[in-house]
Amino acid sequence: MTLRFSLLTFISILFGVSAYSQDEDVHMIRKIHDQALAHGKVYPWLSGLCLNHGGRIAGSPAYMGAANYTKDLLATIPGVKSYHQACEASYWMRGDKEVVELMTNDGKKIKLNALSLGNSIATPSDGLMAEVIEVQSLDEVESLGREKIQGKIVFYNRPMDPTKIRTFSAYGGAVDQRVYGASKAAEYGAVAALVRSMTTNLDDFPHTGVLVYKDTLSKIPGIAISTNDAEMLSARLKEGNVKVYAKTNCRKIGLRPAPTVIGEIKGTEFPEEIIVVGGHLDSWDVGQGAHDDGAGCAQAMEVLRIFQAMDYKPKRTIRAVLFSNEENGLAGGRTYAEVSNSKKEFHLAALESDSGGFSPRGFSFEADTSVFKQYYRHVSQWLPLLESYGLIFEMGGSGADISPLKSQKGLLIGLRPDSQRYFDYHHTSTDTIDKVNKRELELGAAAMASLIYLIDKYGLK
């Protein structure tokens, strides 16, 4: 042995990885990308899901169609065992009539582009009409008090902050209005809540999304209106009183089967260490659930296909998990973790893609505090292998569906794609396959497969 180390050797020693492995890893990650970009199935698989099983809200017939379609696709990958994990979801169904109209002072009606929020109750069957009061926050409802709110329609109009570089931060800063606005308004006697849609765009598309009622409070309908209509309504309120008429007939149907779909490759060396790669199969009932989150499901399936196509036999058990009911209840993620805990399984890692099928820009990592630093130090070694693909590592949230696994003390990971276009399409009728760029989707799948490959090969210690 000589003391003349190459830089690669030095790096390898620093990272505790042999020089041979580094070369092999560079080669394998290149092969993963070649597979995804030249022979990828992720785009046609997503197309089939979107075009034949769109609007697949958990519990719906469309959802069951999607669950069968994806289970069958997974079964086409040699070496993959695919199955349904039983799960029940509270099925909420939009009605066939949603009419929201602004009543002008001269007796005209202006139709507003509106969608009932998910889980909302309906209006009375002949609708409701009331004066509108605009607020910028839940706190403002409190400070206005019952005197101003009673009998009114509360209109939440605080926009997503366009100056946030990451649109998810802007969403996080505004979405309390959609989730809790109706209950807060009900607390002070309002008859309904209108919510400005969650997008920085000015357009005509209403964005639905989950609404959560406080059990202790009376329930009132919650309805999203498009941002253009929110601007118009706000402008008219500056001129004087405005009444709005709303009629909706959405309703809760009750518990329905909505299985989570699983495809599994058994590990050759450490089959008891499970690595999950997933997304959620359910979507809202409008649009096709292309970016949210058909993309993540198709990518998770593609990871298994890539491994098989490369003849890579994982040491650990790899599961593609297409979770049920992320959008309005998280029954899929909760059930999966409960079943796993009851079987005393250990998830070494779980990676979720639920931020759209856009160009991947990196991964964010989280874990129980007792293990996080160790894991993060370990995975950081691999960054040089992924940087040339434009990926970075950071600490941060992973995914809603995998978060119930945190107590197993594995590593939880979120794919972080470019977020600029996500809220153009999120929870709207325009979240359709034509908004997904094939290469961007493929690169996301390749990034996921690359990281899963490294975790599988080296473990996390």
Give the angle subtended at the CA of 282 by the CAs of 278 and 286, to the nearest 5°: 135
Measure the CA–CA gap between 207 and 116, rounded to whole angstroms: 9
Beta strands in 86-206 (DSSP E): 88-93, 98-103, 109-111, 114-116, 128-135, 153-156, 192-196
By CB under 8 A, tell whether 200 contacts a copy of itself. yes
Q: Which of the ranges 76-84, 133-141, 223-231, 434-442 carries the binding residues for a copy of itself, by CB under 8 A?
A: 434-442
CB atoms within 10 A of CB 44: 12
Judged by beta carbon, residue 137 or residue 359, the one nearer a copy of itself is 359
- Work out which of 354, 366, 424, 431 binds a copy of itself, going by CB under 8 A: 424
Give me the 128-157 binding string for a copy of itself, x by CB under 8 A, dash otherwise.
------------------------------
Report in angstroms how near the CB of residue 37 gets to a copy of itself at its nearest.
5
Q: Which one-letter amino acid corresponds to residue 95? A: G
Number of residues that bind a copy of itself (CB under 8 A): 24
**CB of 452 vs a copy of itself, minimal distance in Å:** 19
CB atoms within 10 A of CB 140: 17
Task: Give whichever of 440 and 456 is closer to a copy of itself, judged by the CB atom.
Answer: 440
Q: How far is the CB of 416 from a copy of itself (least distance, A)?
A: 10
Among 148, 251, 252, 438, binds a copy of itself (CB under 8 A): 438
Question: Does residue 440 touch a copy of itself according to CB under 8 A?
Answer: yes
Chain residues 161-180 in contact with a copy of itself, contact rule CB under 8 A = 162-163, 165, 167
Q: Which is nearer to a copy of itself, 29 or 117 (CB)?
A: 29
Query: CA 368 to CA 346: how far, in whole Å?
Result: 14
Least Cα distance to 303 among 326, 278, 271, 324 occurs for 278
CA-to-CA distance for 186 and 194, rounded, in angstroms? 12
Tell me the C-alpha distance between 246 and 229, whole Å.
14
Are β-strands 346-352 and 411-417 bridged in parallel, bridged antiparallel, or unpaired?
A: parallel
Q: Is 384 in the site for a copy of itself (CB under 8 A)?
A: no
> Please, is 175 exposed, middle or buried when counting C-beta atoms within 10 Å of its C-beta (0-12, 13-18, 19+)?
middle
Q: Residue from 137, 371, 389, 406 that binds a copy of itself (CB under 8 A)?
A: 389
Q: Which long-range contacts (CB under 8 A, 24 or more apart) does 376-379 make?
A: 378/458, 378/460, 378/461, 379/411, 379/454, 379/455, 379/460
Q: Does residue 437 bind a copy of itself (CB under 8 A)?
A: yes
Q: Which stretch binds a copy of itself (CB under 8 A): 234-242, 368-376, 407-415, 435-443?
A: 435-443
Of 15-23, 178-186, 234-242, 419-427: span binding a copy of itself (CB under 8 A): 419-427
Give the interface segment with a copy of itself, choosing from 209-217, 277-285, 305-313, 386-394 (CB under 8 A).
386-394
Query: Between 325 and 450, whose beta carbon lies closer to a copy of itself?
Result: 450
By CB under 8 A, tell whether 428 contacts a copy of itself. no
Spatial distance between the Cα atoms of 188 and 153, rounded to a whole number of angstroms: 11
C-alpha span between 331 and 150 (Å, rounded): 35
Contact mark string toward a copy of itself, 360..379, x via CB under 8 A: -x------------------
User: Is 94 a binder of a copy of itself (CB under 8 A)?
Assistant: no
Q: Does 27 bind a copy of itself (CB under 8 A)?
A: no
Looking at residues 30 to 69 of the shown chain, list those that interact with a copy of itself (rule: CB under 8 A): 33-34, 37-38
Local structure of 122: helix, strand or coil:
coil
Whether 448 contacts 277, CB under 8 Å? yes
**Cα(339)–Cα(351) distance, integer angstroms:** 18
Q: Which stretch binds a copy of itself (CB under 8 A): 160-168, 204-212, 330-338, 426-434?
A: 160-168
Residue with tokens 């022979």: 39
For the CB of residue 17, give the shortest distance to a copy of itself in the complex, in Å.
23
Q: Which residues bind a copy of itself (CB under 8 A)?
A: 33-34, 37-38, 162-163, 165, 167, 200-201, 359, 361, 388-390, 418, 420-421, 424, 437-440, 443
